């Protein structure tokens, strides 16, 4: 039996008594079933970004310098050629 742990839930993960007919219960209630479905459908939390490498920091400095040049002198001064 699956049970979604929840502070508000009064069942507390107890096993359900086996029914004499039909399929065995998987969830203790429809609300637990719906909660489990929503958790399965929810996208995973994104992983935190990795700290920038020295190369990435240098690339960022160059981009910022080009941006400053373009904003003060115009786009022609910021050409990479």
Q: How far is CA 11 from the centre of its chain?
A: 29
The whole-number pLDDT of residue 4 equals 46
User: Per DSSP, which regions of 1-81 are E strands?
Assistant: none
Residue whose token pair is 């069942």? 11
Arithmetic mean of pLDDT, 10-29:
73
Q: Is the predicted pLDDT of residue 8 greater than 60, yes or no? A: no
| pLDDT score recorded for residue 54 | 93
Q: How many CA atoms lie within 13 A of 51 on its CB side?
A: 1
pLDDT band of residue 13 (cuts 50, 70, 90) is low
Span 16-28, mean pLDDT? 80
Q: How confident is the model at residue 80 (pLDDT cuts 50, 70, 90)?
A: low
Which of the pair, 76 or 46, is modelled with greater confidence? 46
């Amino acid at each position: 039996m699956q049970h979604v742990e929840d502070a508000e839930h009064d069942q507390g993960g107890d096993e359900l008594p086996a029914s004499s007919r039909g399929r065995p219960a998987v969830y203790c209630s429809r609300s637990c079933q719906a909660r489990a479905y929503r958790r399965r459908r929810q996208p995973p939390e994104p992983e935190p970004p990795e700290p920038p490498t020295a190369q990435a920091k240098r690339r960022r400095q160059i981009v910022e310098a080009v941006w400053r040049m373009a904003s003060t002198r115009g786009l022609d001064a910021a050409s990479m050629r």
